[in-house]
């Protein structure tokens, strides 16, 4: 005991040590007492502070502080690490609760949740920067991993991505949370492919057409053999979860190519897994874009290794995803050209990608409707304009283009601000850490031009599918930049990014997982009633649905129409065999009126009804 006291006195002789010890001990005590008292449950409750006995609170803080101060005297390094660990735990607990706070009422700020997380990130990065050397020593001492062990950890990361994505998306389908646009469409398309290898759908435009009339996506046929074995909509969601997890393979290979250490490879994979856009890109259900991250990273690896056959295969597969996927290949080629890493392959990639884009656009137009270019209508001369007008708009008035980067389609919409924070804050340091490598910023062009210049709301939302291509290019950029940094800066960069993604993952991704897992239990009766209603519908009949959450469940019916997306003329002439009214998540009065008129005019008989849940009418 005497030796311990001597050590404490020795460590506390220095004035700086005394000040540090008191400060750290107070913070540790304050955090511990806050956790014990349940502070994270009272983010929006000001009265919670004043309902406590202030004198008792001070005594409690001082008592724990004295213990921490004693331990600081014994081992100051351990206490500094403890401060960071406690701060992160407290922040995670707070972040988990931000999902349930009504921020517009609490702070009159619709972005309160994300800004709250940014403040927590800043606090933890500040603490980390102060105690980082102690953390490095501890990690080096306890985390000596072989490359085999690293690969096991990377596989675990991939399984984590798969498990969360598959669980949420499958439960969305099973709890009637998926909508006509777009999972109702895809569930019908895959059943059509199983039946006659066509991509026929009635839901996409409320007429019978091929999906090729809207998008060029032959990549679906690669999924078809699996769907043939397990012909259910859940299979589509599970395949997507696999594709979102698979990028851990090229990420590991690229990081190894850039001579990153085993721990750094593990860290890069963790950043990819916890990055909010990675898993959340699947939370609005299946889209063909889920293939992009894996295919683009494999194509990048192939060109880095100068493997021409491999490059050709993955470029072709990328072109099969969707017509605009060629843009990402063209940008990668542009980067290799301007960075002088491989000018020849860069030019070839650009030329092939441009040719593929125009061929695929022609194919889509030949099937009928043409590509969805109205998403860039804010750059057209008028409402009847076309994509050909985008270049004159850019060259003629760059000031207007810049205004559209911050422009929105809805008054006072803050989606782009929120999107910018979520996408850029976690990787801001590694993305812009190598100032002289300006050519690498070319990789951010799709992110800027496709997601920001447009005012189409879903293109700047992380829970939609439009970020999978960007993720591949951003991860590639990070790997290159981090590999160029000296050892100390590498560590700081990776650790600060990890702090960011951990807090954002906890605040944005985990609540969705929790919501759908609890929904299965909390709404079991309603789900059973909905399933019972769907079972009343003959699989060989035509169906019109009001309330699009039921359409995906009707995937075996060749003709399903969503009344909400019908034009006025079509609403007046509904003549399907069945009309289904899905009310479990609410329904507009306008739709209810359309259904009532159709039921009266078409001599329909009510065959199933649960108030506030579902009604089924048969002609």
100-149 pLDDT, tens digit per residue, is 898 888 888 888 999 999 999 999 999 999 999 999 998 887 767 777 88
Starting from the edge strand earliest in sequence, which strands make up the sheet with 614-618, in order?
559-562, 542-546, 578-582, 614-618, 605-610
Q: Where are the beta strands (DSSP E) in 401-445?
A: none
Residue whose entry in the numeric block shows the structure tokens 């603490």: 127
CA atoms within 13 A on the CB side of 602: 22
pLDDT reading at 17 higher than 90: no
Residue whose entry in the numeric block shows the structure tokens 């078409």: 602
What DSSP letter does each residue of 215-272 carry, written as one string?
---TTHHHHHHHHHHS-SHHHHHHHHHHHHHTTHHHHHHHHHHTT--HHHHHHHHHHH
Give the C-alpha separation, 22 to 260, whole Å: 39
What is the number of other CB atoms lying within 10 angstroms of the CB of residue 28? 24
Mean pLDDT along residues 325-346: 94
Give the C-alpha separation, 221 to 320, whole Å: 10
Cα–Cα distances (Å) from 251 to 63, 222, 441, in that order, read 49, 23, 19
Q: How far apart are the first and last CA of the chain?
A: 89
Give the C-alpha separation, 237 to 235, whole Å: 5
Report the run of H or E that residue 579 belongs to, with start and end.
strand 578-582
Helices (H) and strands (E) in the chain, counts: 29, 7
pLDDT level of residue 394 (50, 70, 90 thresholds): confident
The DSSP output letter for 425 is: T
Beta bridge partners of 608: 616
Give the C-alpha separation, 89 to 119, whole Å: 15
Distance of CA 254 to the CA centre of its chain: 22
CB environment 281-295: b (16+ within 10 A), e (fewer): bbbbbbbbbbbbbbb
Query: How many percent of the chain have pLDDT more than 90?
Result: 71
- According to the model, what pLDDT value does residue 487 have? 87
pLDDT reading at 6 higher than 60: no
Phi, psi of 542 (to 5 degrees): -95, 145
Answer for the pair 280, 287: CB distance below 8 angstroms, yes or no.
Answer: no
Mean pLDDT along residues 541-561: 95
- According to the model, what pLDDT value does residue 3 have? 56
- According to the model, what pLDDT value does residue 227 have? 97
SS3 480: helix
C-alpha torsion sign, points 364, 370, 375, 378: positive
Could you tell me which residues come within 8 angstroms of residue 341 by beta carbon, excluding any fewer than 6 positions away?
335
Report the run of H or E that residue 417 belongs to, with start and end.
helix 415-424
SS3 100: coil
- According to the model, what pLDDT value does residue 498 have? 96
What DSSP letter does each residue of 169-224 carry, written as one string?
HHHHHHTT---IIIIIHHHHHHHHHHHHS--EESTTTSS-EEGGGT---TTHHHHH
Answer for the pair 471, 293: CB distance below 8 angstroms, yes or no.
Answer: yes
Q: Which of 440, 432, 257 is nearest to 339 (CA)?
A: 440
Could you tell me which residues come within 8 angstroms of residue 241 by beta carbon, excluding any fewer than 6 positions away?
161, 162, 163, 165, 166, 169, 282
Render pLDDT for 435-463 as a digit per residue (tens, 0 to 9). 568 899 999 999 988 888 888 888 889 99
Among 134-138, 143-147, 235-239, 508-512, whose mean pLDDT is lowest? 143-147
- According to the model, what pLDDT value does residue 408 have? 78
pLDDT reading at 293 higher than 60: yes
Give the C-alpha separation, 315 to 345, whole Å: 12
SS3 27: helix
What is the number of other CB atoms lying within 10 angstroms of the CB of residue 307? 14
* The pair of three-digit structure tokens given for residue 321, joined into one six-digit string: 């995803």
Return the biggest CA–CA distance within the chain.
Answer: 95
pTM, whole model, 2 decimals?
0.93
Across the chain, mean pLDDT equals: 91
């Amino acid at each position: 005991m005497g030796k311990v006291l001597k050590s404490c006195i020795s460590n506390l002789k220095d004035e700086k040590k005394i000040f540090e010890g008191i400060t750290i001990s107070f913070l540790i005590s304050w955090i511990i007492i806050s956790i014990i008292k349940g502070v994270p449950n009272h983010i929006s409750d000001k009265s919670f502070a004043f309902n406590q006995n202030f004198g008792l609170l001070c005594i409690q803080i001082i008592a724990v502080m004295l213990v921490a101060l004693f331990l600081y005297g014994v081992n100051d390094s351990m206490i500094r690490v403890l401060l960071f660990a406690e701060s992160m735990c407290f922040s995670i607990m707070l972040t988990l609760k931000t999902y349930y706070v009504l921020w517009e009422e609490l702070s009159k700020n619709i972005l309160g949740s994300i800004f709250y997380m940014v403040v927590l990130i800043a606090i933890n990065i500040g603490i980390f920067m102060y105690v980082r050397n102690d953390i490095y020593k501890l990690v080096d001492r306890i985390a000596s991993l072989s490359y085999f062990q690293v690969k096991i950890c990377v596989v675990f990361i991939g399984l984590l991505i798969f498990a969360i994505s598959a669980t949420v998306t499958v439960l969305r389908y099973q709890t009637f949370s998926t909508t006509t646009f777009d999972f109702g469409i895809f569930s019908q398309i895959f059943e059509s492919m199983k039946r006659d290898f066509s991509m026929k759908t009635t839901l996409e435009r409320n007429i019978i057409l091929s999906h090729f009339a809207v998008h060029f996506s032959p990549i679906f046929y690669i999924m078809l053999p699996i769907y043939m074995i397990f012909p259910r909509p859940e299979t589509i969601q599970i395949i997507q979860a696999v594709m979102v997890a698979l990028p851990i393979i090229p990420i590991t290979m690229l990081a190894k190519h850039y001579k990153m250490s085993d721990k750094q490879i593990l860290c890069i994979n963790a950043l990819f897994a916890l990055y909010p856009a990675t898993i959340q890109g699947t939370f609005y259900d299946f889209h063909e874009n889920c293939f992009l991250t894996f295919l683009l990273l494999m194509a990048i690896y192939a060109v880095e290794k100068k493997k021409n056959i491999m490059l050709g295969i993955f470029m072709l597969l990328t072109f099969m995803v969707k017509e605009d996927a060629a843009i990402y290949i063209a940008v990668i080629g542009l980067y290799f050209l301007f960075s002088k890493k491989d000018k020849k392959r860069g030019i070839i990639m650009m030329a092939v990608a441009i040719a593929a884009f125009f061929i695929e656009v022609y194919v889509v137009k030949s099937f009928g409707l043409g590509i969805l270019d109205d998403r860039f209508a804010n750059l057209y001369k008028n409402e009847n304009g076309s994509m050909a007008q985008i270049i004159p708009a850019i060259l003629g008035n760059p000031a207007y283009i810049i205004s559209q980067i911050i422009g929105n389609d809805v008054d006072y919409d803050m989606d782009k601000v929120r999107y910018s924070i979520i996408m850029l804050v976690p990787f801001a340091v590694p993305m812009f850490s190598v100032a002289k490598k300006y050519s690498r910023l070319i990789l951010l062009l799709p992110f800027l031009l496709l997601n920001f210049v447009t005012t189409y709301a879903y293109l700047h939302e992380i829970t939609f599918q439009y970020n999978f291509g960007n993720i591949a290019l951003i991860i590639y950029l990070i790997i290159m930049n981090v590999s160029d940094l000296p050892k100390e800066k590498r560590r700081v960069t990776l650790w600060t990014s990890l702090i960011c993604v951990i807090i954002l993952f906890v605040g944005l991704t985990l609540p969705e997982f929790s919501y759908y897992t609890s929904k299965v239990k909390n709404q079991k009766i309603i789900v059973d009633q909905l399933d019972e209603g769907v079972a009343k519908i003959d699989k060989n009949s035509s169906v019109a649905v009001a309330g699009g959450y039921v359409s995906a469940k009707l995937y075996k019916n060749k003709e399903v129409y969503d009344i909400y997306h019908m034009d006025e003329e079509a609403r007046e002439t509904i003549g399907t065999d069945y009309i289904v009214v899905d009310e479990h998540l609410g329904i507009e009065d306008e739709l209810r009126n359309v259904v009532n008129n159709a039921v009266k005019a078409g001599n329909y008989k009510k065959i199933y009804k649960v108030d506030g849940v579902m009604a089924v009418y048969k002609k």
